[in-house]
């Protein structure tokens, strides 16, 4: 990688910090994002109304869930599938009002799926704080067949939709929550460098 | 100008060609022997009769060809048309911009009658005769922007202006140079420009954005950008890279002059009155090296620009597979004559 290089459409994620002016906090996390949740609660347990939604789909995440549950005396919504978690989030949004701040922690794919639900509900992205946790796997949108490939760990990836070898273009769409992938050997079919795992 | 519309193809058998007038009016982009990105924005004022700048929206001999090409592309992939729901005012702004300009500048081909909101549009070359109520989508066969953009040359992106930024929220992009409207939909000015090398560090996008945020209604501006392509293929989209990529390696010393095209985008920007959005038109002109060589001044300048081009720009523009053939063919045509500044052919 060249010095000074950056993907200029790639969002830069921060560390979750409670927003003092909030009227209501909604925290949405998955998997390793459980650690970001615990870090948040080490900062403080806010006075304002709080909703916590957590996706725990593996034993480690279940441990985080138990710990979080113990340290805050408020109900935590725990789900074991992403679809259920997003549905629970939609239901929570019905009772949100102006001044709600949102905190999201998890993989990049998860973050932007949550962001899409919030956007559809009219939440301004300025009020959504994001921390990247866990796998660096990317979502890769195949520009040829429009399939979005989940959890891509290698710089060259065989599209699950069309079977083409895709290379990641240095371009990220927040609406799609994905990087653009395009065919690497279009000019000379079969000329494909060895794939390397660079998004572990 | 010659308003006989040709019926050519921009794919498969590529019957596209430029008449001598069409070559002469080509918006050659290089006024100097070297090229680097810059904020090359100027007022989109009326130019000399017959030039591509004569009218705000240029219609030329390829009008029918390009409308048919757009129809083919949309039929295969309607995702080349993107319309976010909050852009309906901008859609109607576009109906007005295109219809009023075409009817004013090409009255022999396009006629518009306006009686309050009752409009009557006649497009003779395409055989369209449509009465509709301006502002009432149910009176048109499809969304207003799709309806009108199928009847005009060039790609269009309509940008919503909010939070001191511009967002690509409406667009019809069927003949682009390796990018994807479907992917860039909803992006901000700096996001969609992310893949461009060097321009961000040069501050180009900061300055361009600042300028555009203050663009005034009635004072459109323009700039050019350029690429090259192999075969007169308008649809060199990222979507279809698997189809046109192989062409890049089909260039040989024998076919380079007829196969390789200089491809210029005349980009104009118009503030729209109702939506306060900005319309960005990307009108692509393609001329083969063979045709360009009718004007030695152009061919010498092209040679000098290409030999001094920054390697990162050559790579980004996708020239590398065939650039050596191009340079070999151009080289003997440059006698080293000093060329005064300017883009004119002679
Ligand atoms: C008016 C100021 C602008 C400047 C100075 C500017 C500059 C540039 C430059 C230097 C490039 C690289 C082109 C190449 O090497 O072939 C580029 C690409 C591009 N520009 Fe602009 N641009 C401007 C406005 C716009 C606007 C208003 C749009 C609206 C959509 C736009 C859309 C694009 C796109 C989609 C690309 C291709 C990016 C990619 O590779 O994915 N530009 N622009």
- In chain B, the number of structural domains is 1
Determine, for residues A187 and B183 on separate chains, whether the beta-carbon distance falls below 8 Å. no
In a domain, B302, yes or no: yes
Q: Which two tokens stand for residue B152?
A: 């005009």
The verdict on the CB of residue B241 being under 6 Å from ligand 1 is no
Is residue B117, in this structure, part of any structural domain at all?
no
Would B97 be classed as within a structural domain?
no
Say if residue B262 is exposed, middle or buried (CB neighbours under 10 Å; 0-12, 13-18, 19+): buried
> Tokens 């007022």 belong to which residue?
B43
Inside any domain, residue B306: yes
- Beta strands per DSSP E along A13-127: 24-30, 50-55, 76-79, 100-106
Q: Which atom of ligand 1 is nearest to the CA of B208?
A: 2
Q: Is the pLDDT confidence value at B1 over 90?
A: no
> Could you say which of B183, B201, B249 has the minimum Cβ distance to residue A188?
B249
Burial B29-55 (b: 16+ CB within 10 A, else e): bbeebebebebebeebeeeeeeebbeb
Q: How far is the CA of B99 from the centre of ligand 1 (A)?
A: 26
DSSP designation for B219: -
Q: How confident is the model at residue A1 (pLDDT cuts 50, 70, 90)?
A: low
pLDDT at A7: 75
Taking the CA of residue B171 as reference, the ligand 1 atom at the shortest distance is 30
Residue of B187, B200, B238 with shortest CB distance to A182: B238
Rg (CA), chain A: 18
B185, B225, B270, best to mutate for ligand 1 pocket (most atoms within 8 Å of CB) = B225
pLDDT for position B67: 98
3-class DSSP state of B264: strand
Q: What is the DSSP letter of B333?
A: G
Nearest CA to A80 out of A7, A30, A133, A126 is that of A30
Complex ipTM: 0.94
Q: Is residue B178 domain-resident?
A: yes
Region B257-285: mean pLDDT is 98
Instruction: With cut-offs at 50, 70 and 90, classify the pLDDT of residue B110.
Output: very high
**B137 burial class (0-12, 13-18, 19+ CB within 10 angstroms)?**
middle
Radius of gyration of chain B (CA): 20
Encoded tokens for A125: 């992205």
Region B24-40 average pLDDT: 97
The position carrying tokens 């240029």 is: B58
Angstrom distances, CA of residue B20 to CA of A4, B75, B104, B223: 47, 32, 26, 24
Question: Is residue A106 helix, strand or coil?
Answer: strand
| Residue span of the structural domain in which B290 resides | 20-83+153-333
For residue A104, pLDDT over 70 is answered with yes
Mean pLDDT of B38-50: 97
CA distances from B196 to A9, A41, A50, B252 (A): 11, 42, 43, 29
The minimum CA-CA distance between A10 and chain B, rounded to whole Å, is 8
Mutate which of A2, A11, A142, A171 to disrupt the B interface (most B C-beta within 10 Å)? A171
Q: Is there a domain that residue B98 lies in? A: no
CA of B192 to the centre of ligand 1 (A): 8
| Chain A residues near residue B194 by CB distance under 8 angstroms | 7-10, 170-172
> What's the pLDDT tens digit per position in A48-71?
999 999 999 999 999 999 999 998
In sequence order, which residues have a C-beta less than 8 Å from that of residue B17 and are 6 or more positions away? Answer: B8, B232
Copy the structure tokens of residue B224.
Answer: 């050019």
DSSP state letters, B130-177: EEEETT-GGGSSS-HHHHHHTTSSSEEEEEEEETTEEEEEEEE-SS-B
Ligand 1 mutation pick, B192, B195, B227, B239, max ligand atoms within 8 A of CB = B192
Q: Which of B183, B186, B248 sits opposite A187 (nearest CB)?
A: B248
Whether A136 shows a pLDDT value over 60: the answer reads yes
Q: Is the pLDDT of residue B2 over 70?
A: no
B193 falls within a domain: yes
Per the domain annotation, does B248 fall within a domain?
yes
Q: Cβ of A182 and B248 within 8 Å? A: no
Active site residues of B: 223
């Amino acid at each position: 990688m060249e010095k000074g290089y950056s993907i200029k459409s790639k969002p830069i994620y921060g560390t979750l910090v409670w927003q003092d002016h909030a009227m209501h906090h909604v925290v949405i996390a998955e998997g390793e994002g459980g650690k970001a949740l615990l870090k948040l609660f080490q900062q403080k347990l806010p006075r304002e109304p709080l909703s916590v939604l957590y996706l725990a789909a593996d034993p480690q995440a279940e441990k985080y869930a138990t710990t979080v549950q113990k340290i805050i005396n408020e109900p935590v919504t725990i789900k074991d599938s992403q679809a259920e978690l997003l549905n629970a989030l939609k239901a929570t949004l019905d009772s949100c009002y102006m001044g709600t701040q949102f905190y999201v922690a998890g993989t990049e794919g998860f973050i932007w799926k949550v962001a899409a639900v919030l956007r559809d509900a009219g939440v301004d992205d300025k009020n959504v704080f994001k921390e990247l946790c866990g796998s660096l796997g990317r979502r890769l949108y195949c520009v040829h067949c429009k399939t979005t490939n989940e959890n891509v760990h290698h710089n060259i990836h065989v599209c699950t939709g069309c079977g083409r070898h895709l290379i990641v273009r240095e371009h990220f769409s927040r609406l799609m929550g994905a990087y653009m992938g395009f065919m690497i050997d279009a000019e000379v079919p079969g000329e494909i460098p060895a794939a390397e795992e660079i998004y572990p | 100008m010659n308003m006989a519309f040709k019926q050519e193809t921009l794919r498969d058998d590529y019957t596209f060609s430029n008449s001598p007038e069409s070559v002469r009016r080509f918006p050659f982009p290089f006024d100097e022997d070297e090229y680097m990105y810059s904020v090359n924005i100027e007022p989109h004022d009326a130019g000399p009769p017959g030039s591509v700048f004569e009218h705000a929206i240029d219609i030329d001999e390829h009008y029918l060809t390009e409308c048919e090409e757009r129809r083919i592309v949309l039929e295969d992939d309607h995702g080349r048309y993107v319309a976010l729901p909050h852009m309906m005012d901008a859609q109607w702004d576009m109906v007005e911009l295109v219809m009023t300009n075409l009817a004013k500048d090409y009255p022999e081909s396009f006629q518009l009658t306006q009686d309050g909101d009752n409009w009557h549009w006649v497009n003779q070359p395409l055989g369209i005769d449509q009465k509709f109520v301006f502002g009432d989508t149910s009176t048109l066969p499809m969304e207003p922007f799709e309806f009108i953009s199928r009847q005009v040359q060039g790609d269009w992106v309509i940008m919503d202006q909010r939070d001191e930024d511009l967002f690509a929220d409406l667009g019809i992009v069927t003949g682009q140079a390796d990018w994807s409207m479907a992917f860039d939909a909803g992006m901000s000015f700096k996001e969609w420009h992310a893949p461009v090398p060097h321009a961000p560090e040069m501050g180009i996008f900061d300055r361009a954005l600042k300028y555009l945020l203050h663009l005034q209604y009635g004072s459109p501006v323009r700039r050019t950008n350029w690429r090259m392509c192999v075969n007169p293929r308008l649809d060199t989209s990222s979507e279809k890279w698997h189809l046109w990529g192989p062409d890049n390696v089909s260039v040989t010393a024998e076919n380079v002059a007829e196969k390789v095209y200089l491809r210029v985008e005349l980009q104009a920007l118009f503030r729209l009155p109702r939506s306060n959005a900005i319309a960005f038109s990307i009108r692509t002109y393609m001329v083969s090296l063979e045709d360009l060589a009718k004007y030695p001044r152009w061919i010498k300048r092209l040679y000098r620009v290409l030999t001094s081009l920054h390697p990162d720009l050559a790579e980004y523009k996708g020239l590398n597979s065939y650039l050596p053939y191009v340079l070999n063919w151009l080289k003997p045509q440059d006698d080293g004559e000093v060329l005064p500044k300017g883009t004119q052919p002679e």
